[in-house]
Amino acid sequence: MSGDVRAVRNRPHRADRDRGAVTAEFAVLLPVVALLVGAVVALTASAAIQLRCADAARAGARAAALGDGDADVLAVARRVAGSGVQVAVGRDDGWVVVTVESTVGPTLPLVGGLTVRGTATGRTEP
């Protein structure tokens, strides 16, 4: 009978077999969580820059509709959008189209930059 008790005492407990499981699970899930957080940050930055481009295009179209020249329209759009944007102004038959583009830098490894664009159209006043 004492042999049976000794065998039970020497048998590994369930807690001993599970030791380190949480660490292994954490090590596997941490990169996934980090990538998800990075993706959320990248999407938020892209959305914010796209909104800024749309606001700049609207401001430029409004300036052009009021009769400002192309140089003034470019200056207004660049002032609203900030540095590092490309602004294009097109005029056709009393209408003006202002397009503002910007490239969002890569925030995740192995992912290239994303180009965002805002466009606005306005009728020029006579």
pLDDT, tens only, 35-50: 888 888 888 888 999 9
111 is a domain residue: yes
Beta bridge partners of 98: 89, 120
**Residue 2 placed within a domain:** no
Does 112 map to a domain? yes
Q: How many domains does the chain have?
A: 1
For residue 13, the model assigns a pLDDT of 59
In a domain, 57, yes or no: yes
Residue of 57, 56, 72, 75 whose CA lies nearest to 122: 57
Checking if the pLDDT of 60 tops 90, the result is: yes
Q: Is residue 7 part of a domain?
A: no
In a domain, 45, yes or no: yes
C-alpha 66/C-alpha 119 separation (Å) is 17
11, part of any domain: no
Asked if residue 41 is part of any domain, the answer here is: yes
Range of the domain at 116: 16-123
